[in-house]
């Protein structure tokens, strides 16, 4: 495995100045956090209903915590059996926690939760615009990739297989994707997955209103070679906010739409990796489900797929934007067989 590090002196000095830790701030240290969880139905007006297109709802939670840094979760990973979660926030925080499930496999609570800041290559917590983490994916052997917007980049972290190093892991940067300097300030490297020996990085907003989104691909056998650029066709008007890896040559793509007069709408699609690589077309995804304002929904930004009891299960997490009018949701669905 090759890990790339850029160490230009001027950039390092600027980064160190921008990312300097704030002395005495507990958010700059690893710590235990208490999390309250309340179960929610998929349809508030019909709590027994569980269908969502081709998906089947397995249960969900509204999560709250007194920790001032809790919230803003933009990306999600789970361990192999779905009993632990790892998330990152757009204010530069890690979250790890055990997921407690009930007898029917629905998420019931989070336990043994800890948070810690994401750190730069010198070990200082990212601050301000540098902290806007949006994507998360497992590379290999306890190594994870995180994508960021505003300062558009992909960093790697050695967290350990048990994620015990979240409090001390430092960033190592991959080469910037082509044209990174032209990406939207608050709408760039949102979706991230590692599958088939590659890192797939999706750009949230397309250029124009066509729904054609840029996807960058890093060959992880030689990440220093940089990323290649591809495209996918998704629903116009929606932002691409997450990828997840079902492990069968497909990617799960999560899209988000919000309007003040309508609310949140989420589209969940499946798209072929081979089709993304085919230069002859801009492949469209197969729509699996749409979560609409009459359902339990918020600003979904993170997704992960695991296998539980022989079925593939999709977990989603929402970014509450640290707003009193929004919620941190953790939701789970069975994917179609």
Residue 6: pLDDT over 70: no
Q: Look at 297 and 15; give whichever has higher pLDDT.
A: 297
What is the structure's pLDDT at 10? Answer: 32
288-293 own/partner pairs: CB under 8 Å, 24+ apart: 288/53, 288/54, 288/55, 288/252, 288/335, 288/336, 289/52, 289/53, 289/54, 289/55, 289/333, 290/52, 290/53, 290/265, 290/266, 291/52, 291/264, 291/265, 291/266, 292/265, 293/262, 293/263, 293/264, 293/265
Q: Write phi, then psi, for 56 (nearest 5 degrees).
A: -125, 125
Res. 9: pLDDT tops 50: no
Span 151-190, pLDDT tens digits: 999 999 999 999 999 999 999 999 999 999 999 999 999 9
Is it the case that residue 100 has pLDDT exceeding 50? yes
- In this prediction, residue 256 has a pLDDT band, given cuts at 50, 70 and 90, of very high
Average pLDDT of the residues in 231-245: 93
Q: What is the mean pLDDT of the chain?
A: 91
Residue 196 has pLDDT above 90, yes or no: yes
Please write the tens of the pLDDT for every residue from 105-123. 999 999 999 999 999 999 9
pLDDT of residue 209: 65
CA distance 230 to 254: 18
Is the predicted pLDDT of residue 17 greater than 70, yes or no? no
Is the domain spanning 37-334 CATH 1.10.760? The answer is no
Please, which residues bridge with residue 153 across strands? Answer: 148
Region 306-313: mean pLDDT is 92
pLDDT level of residue 12 (50, 70, 90 thresholds): very low
Instruction: Give the chain's largest Cα–Cα span.
Output: 59
């Amino acid at each position: 495995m090759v890990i790339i590090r850029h160490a230009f002196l001027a950039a390092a000095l600027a980064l160190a100045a921008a990312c300097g830790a704030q002395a005495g701030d507990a958010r700059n240290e690893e710590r235990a956090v208490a999390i309250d969880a309340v179960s929610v139905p998929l349809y508030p007006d019909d709590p027994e209903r569980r269908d969502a297109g081709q998906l089947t709802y397995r249960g969900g939670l509204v999560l709250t915590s007194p920790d001032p840094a809790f919230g803003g979760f933009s990306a999600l990973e789970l361990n192999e059996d779905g009993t632990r979660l790892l998330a990152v926030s757009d204010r530069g925080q890690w979250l790890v926690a055990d997921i407690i499930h009930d007898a029917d496999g629905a998420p019931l609570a989070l336990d043994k939760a800890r948070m810690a800041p994401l750190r730069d290559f010198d070990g200082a917590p990212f601050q301000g615009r540098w902290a806007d983490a949006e994507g998360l994916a497992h590379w290999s052997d306890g190594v994870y990739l995180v994508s960021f917007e505003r300062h558009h980049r992909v960093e790697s972290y050695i967290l350990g297989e048990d994620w015990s190093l979240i409090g001390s892991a430092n960033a190592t940067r991959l080469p910037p994707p082509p044209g990174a300097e032209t990406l939207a300030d608050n709408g760039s490297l949102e979706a991230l997955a590692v599958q088939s020996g590659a890192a797939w990085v999706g750009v949230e907003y397309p250029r124009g209103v066509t729904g054609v989104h840029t996807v960058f691909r890093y060959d992880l056998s030689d990440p220093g070679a940089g990323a290649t650029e591809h495209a996918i066709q998704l629903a116009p008007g929606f932002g691409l906010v997450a990828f997840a890896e079902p492990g069968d040559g497909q990617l799960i793509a999560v899209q988000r739409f919000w309007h003040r007069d309508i609310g949140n709408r989420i589209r969940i699609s499946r798209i072929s990796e081979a089709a993304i690589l085919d230069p002859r077309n801009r492949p469209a995804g197969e729509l699996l489900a749409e979560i609409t304002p009459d359902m339990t929904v918020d600003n979904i930004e993170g997704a992960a797929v695991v296998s539980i009891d022989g079925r593939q299960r999709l977990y989603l997490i929402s970014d509450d934007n640290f707003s009193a009018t929004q919620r941190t949701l953790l939701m789970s669905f069975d994917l179609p067989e």
